[in-house]
Amino acid sequence: MNSRRLLVLAAIFVAVFMIQACGGTEEDSGEGEGEGEGEGEGEGEGEGEGEGEQDGDSDDETTQEEEAEAEPAEPFIFNVISDTHVRLPGNPDDDDYDNQSNIDNLSAAIDRINSEFASSSFVAVTGDMVGALFSENPDDYGAGFENPADKFKEMMDWLDMPWYAAIGNHDYQKDYDTELGEGVSSDDPAAMEAIWKKVLGTDPYYSFVYNGVRMIFLNSNRGEARTQVCVGCTAEAYCTGSFDDEQLAWFEAELENGDPCILFFHHPPITDSPEALFSIAKTFLVREEDAFYDLVETYQDQILAMFTGHGHIWEKDNMYESIPVFETSSIGDTNGNMDNIHIVEVNPEEMSITVTIGREDTHYWSESFDK
């Protein structure tokens, strides 16, 4: 791509993304119940082929002979969606967003997954389940009052397969300021996490094992960078990704298990190629100095892939020339579309993964460049 074309496209994305980050008119329109028991900080609710070690499912007495006789792990398929941004018609943010469109997009995406991808083992959501919450009190949820969190859970339960969710930056917003045209981030992240614990039954981060592959759902909102106000905003924070020390210690213990693993979290990391565009602003990525990168580099041989959201862009690249990183474009808000679905095929025995976009009319941003 020549430099003039790149500058024009970048300018367009900047204009669109700043609207999305701090509110304004949109341009284009959990853990769920699953086959697996969560472990570590988070605990899964489902039953099935997944295994969780927190509840004592690991068998330290398994002999080498029994391990040799174990059947090969079967290949499987799952789907990834992101940035559903469930917002309720009539709420304060409805003046700046088409709230009903977000609900319609998610409903249509669920219908499509149930019909077209009925063999999928599970569905993963990489954050921003809602546009904003309007109460920090957990007692206001699951109590029969309509709210975005309960609506998201209700809709996702329409899926015919298990589903799991990571927490995004919008999932920590306690309100929406109509004068500023942006979300108001909570100063009490523990209260917001208590809400999601009550609604979804999940802790802020968790894992489960499916067919020999460890699925790790991280929370990229818990580090020190969460307090930074987003570029161009007044009240909205959490745009920059970072991880807290307690979570990273848990993450390292997960990696030390030695299982092949797939990571799911909201903010994209910094990747190898300078042409990759996971977000217009670098401040929307996981901050460069985060210890997360050291762990990923150390255990890169067992990480099959990473799936992120946040940027509302289709993109892929690598980390350390070995780990594929994918961003799934959004279901709701800017660039929202019911067909923004990733299809992921995993072969545990071959340690291989194949990822395709569930839309024929789009492509990854980096594929726009002339080769």
**How much is the pTM?**
0.85
Q: Between residues 191 and 53, which one has the greater pLDDT?
A: 191
Per-residue pLDDT, 368 = 74
Report domain extents, the chain.
3-55+72-368
Per-residue pLDDT at 366: 87
The pLDDT value given to residue 369: 61
At residue 22, the pLDDT reads: 59
Which 8-state DSSP code applies to residue 142? S
Find tokens 């002339």 and name the residue: 370
Question: Is the pLDDT score of 347 beyond 70?
Answer: yes
Question: What whole-number distance in Å separates Cα of residue 54 and Cα of residue 44?
Answer: 10
Residue 101 vs residues 27, 97, 104, 181, 341: alpha-carbon distances, Å: 12, 9, 5, 19, 17
Helix 148-156 with 99-116: angle, nearest 10 deg: 20
- What is the per-residue pLDDT across 64-89, written as a single tens digit (0 to 9) for each? 444 445 577 899 999 999 999 999 99
Burial classification of residue 281, based on how many CB atoms lie within 10 Å of its CB (0-12 exposed, 13-18 middle, 19 or more buried) = middle
For the domain spanning 3-55+72-368, the CATH number is 3.60.21.10
Q: How far apart are the first and last CA of the chain?
A: 8
Q: Among 24-33, 204-213, 250-259, which is the least confidently predicted range? A: 24-33
The mean pLDDT value for 202-212 works out to 96
Examine the pLDDT at 360 and tell me if it is beyond 80.
Answer: yes
**pLDDT tens track for 101-144:** 999 999 999 999 999 999 999 999 999 999 999 999 999 999 98
Does residue 27 carry a pLDDT above 50?
A: no
Q: Which residue has the higher pLDDT, 23 or 48?
A: 23
Q: Which residue has the higher pLDDT, 313 or 27?
A: 313
Q: Give the residue-averaged pLDDT of 252-280.
A: 94
Long-range contacts of 250-254 (CB under 8 A, 24+ apart): 250/40, 250/41, 250/205, 251/205, 251/216, 251/218, 251/292, 251/295, 252/295, 253/40, 254/39, 254/40, 254/207, 254/214, 254/216
Q: What is the pLDDT of residue 69?
A: 53
pLDDT number for residue 333: 97
Q: Alpha-carbon dihedral of residues 58, 64, 67, 68, nearest 10 degrees?
A: 170
Per DSSP bridges, beta strands 323-327 and 315-319 are: antiparallel
pLDDT at 7: 39
In 3D space, the residue among 201, 155, 222 whose CA is nearest the CA of residue 37 turns out to be 201
Say whether pLDDT at 370 is over 80: no
- The predicted pLDDT at position 295 comes to 98
Q: Is 313 a residue whose pLDDT tops 90?
A: yes
**Which pLDDT band, with edges at 50, 70 and 90, does 6 fall under?**
very low
Q: What rounded mean pLDDT belongs to the chain? A: 86
**Which amino acid is it at 116?**
E
What are the DSSP calls for 190-228, one per residue?
Answer: HHHHHHHHHHH---SSEEEEETTEEEEE--TBSSGGGGS
Burial of 164 (0-12, 13-18, 19+ CB in 10 A): buried
Q: Tell me the mean pLDDT in the region 166-194.
A: 96
Q: Is 171 a residue whose pLDDT tops 60?
A: yes
H or E stretch covering 327: strand 323-327
> What single letter denotes the amino acid at residue 181?
G
| pLDDT, tens digit, 9 for 90 and up, residues 34-68 | 344 445 444 344 333 444 444 334 444 444 444 44
Q: What is the mean pLDDT of residues 247-275?
A: 96
DSSP state of 130: B
| DSSP β-ladder status, 315-319 and 261-264 | unpaired
